């Protein structure tokens, strides 16, 4: 993993960083954006990234990736959406956010308002030392882009302009109308893996999916296994859960 970025003009204008930002802009609204954004966040040295959207009565996970254990990021996102998001001290703030503005909140600014159970579940048990959250609101969505640091890096920081830029890249992508409204977690999959998952979400059996894709049923099983591994899940029910669909 690369070392932490520091607040210097050289860092903020480095060719590698600018190339990654350019890739995110070029892919905004397309299937390839998620992987480009994950690569950009990985370059900051963060241990985990999560992006959630919020409404008055629910929250959705748009992207989650733990760079040390993919399954951990998915599990934490699932737990958070099962009602824990209401205990997030930032939940009232994102609901009151003004469109077009970003707000950066370091871990220390919100940790005192967390319950002991919340802190243990989302920080202590996973071995995460701290978090920097960026709240951003658009015309349709209200997002929190969360960057988490490992325990040894709990005081890590990034330049505020870079943090705001990451949040605005996420908002631009997720507010861009897509021709095919795919569940956000599936963006990290290959075309075939995604097609198999969409077939499962539509209630189709492996044999039907195989016929639709003109592949063998055994290939459906293979693509399903690869997709589940990338998503950090192990069951059909978990697929429905992370995609926000009713099983």
- Where does the pLDDT of residue 181 fall: very low under 50, low under 70, confident under 90, or very high at 90 and above? low
- Residue 138, C-beta contacts closer than 8 angstroms, at least 6 positions apart: 99, 100, 171, 175
Distance CA 169, CA 180 (A): 20
Percent of the chain with pLDDT strictly greater than 90: 37
Q: Which residues pair with 104 in a beta bridge?
A: 134
Asked whether the beta carbons of 151 and 129 are under 8 A apart, the reply is yes
Residue 164 has pLDDT above 80, yes or no: yes
Structural fold of domain 189-242? Arc Repressor Mutant, subunit A (1.10.10)
- Residue 104, C-beta contacts closer than 8 angstroms, at least 6 positions apart: 132, 133, 134, 135, 160, 163, 164
- Give the length of the chain: 247
Indicate the pairing of strand 128-137 with strand 102-106.
antiparallel
Distance of CA 194 to the CA centre of its chain: 17
Q: Enumerate the domain spans of the chain.
A: 47-175, 189-242
Q: Hunting for tokens 């539509």 — which residue is that?
A: 202
- Where does the pLDDT of residue 4 fall: very low under 50, low under 70, confident under 90, or very high at 90 and above? very low
Whole-number CA gyration radius for the chain = 18
DSSP string, 104-117: EEEHHHHHTTS-HH
Query: pLDDT digit string (tens) for 116-147?
Result: 888 888 887 777 777 899 999 998 899 999 99
Asked whether the beta carbons of 201 and 184 are under 8 A apart, the reply is no
DSSP H or E stretch at residue 59: strand 59-66
- Where does the pLDDT of residue 187 fall: very low under 50, low under 70, confident under 90, or very high at 90 and above? confident
Distance CA 241, CA 247 (A): 8
Higher-pLDDT residue of 58 and 211 is: 211
Alpha helices in 96-216 (DSSP H): 107-111, 116-119, 160-175, 191-201, 206-213
Distance CA 143, CA 19 (A): 24
Asked whether the beta carbons of 228 and 234 are under 8 A apart, the reply is yes
CATH architecture of 47-175: 2-Layer Sandwich (3.30)
């Amino acid at each position: 993993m690369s070392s932490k970025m520091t607040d210097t003009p050289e860092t903020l204008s480095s060719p590698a960083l600018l190339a990654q930002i350019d890739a995110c802009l070029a892919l905004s609204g397309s299937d390839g954006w998620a992987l480009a954004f994950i690569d950009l966040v990985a370059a900051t040295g963060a241990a985990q990234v999560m992006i959630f959207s919020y409404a008055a009565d629910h929250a959705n996970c748009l992207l989650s990736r733990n760079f040390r254990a993919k399954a951990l990021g998915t599990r934490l996102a699932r737990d958070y959406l099962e009602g824990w998001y209401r205990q997030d001290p930032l939940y009232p703030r994102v609901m009151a956010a003004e469109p077009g503005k970003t707000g950066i909140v370091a871990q220390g600014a919100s940790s005192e308002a967390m319950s002991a159970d919340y802190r243990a579940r989302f920080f202590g048990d996973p071995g995460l030392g701290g978090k920097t959250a960026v709240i951003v609101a658009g015309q349709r969505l209200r997002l929190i882009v969360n960057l988490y640091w490992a325990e040894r890096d709990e005081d890590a920081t990034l330049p505020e302009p870079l943090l705001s830029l990451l949040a605005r890249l996420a908002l631009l992508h997720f507010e861009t109308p897509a021709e095919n409204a795919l569940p956000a977690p599936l963006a990290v999959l290959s075309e075939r893996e995604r097609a198999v998952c969409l077939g499962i979400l539509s209630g189709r059996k492996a044999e039907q999916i195989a016929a639709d894709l003109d592949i063998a049923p055994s290939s459906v099983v293979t693509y399903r296994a690869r997709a589940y591994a990338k998503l950090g899940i192990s069951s059909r029910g978990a697929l429905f859960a992370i995609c926000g669909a009713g099983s």
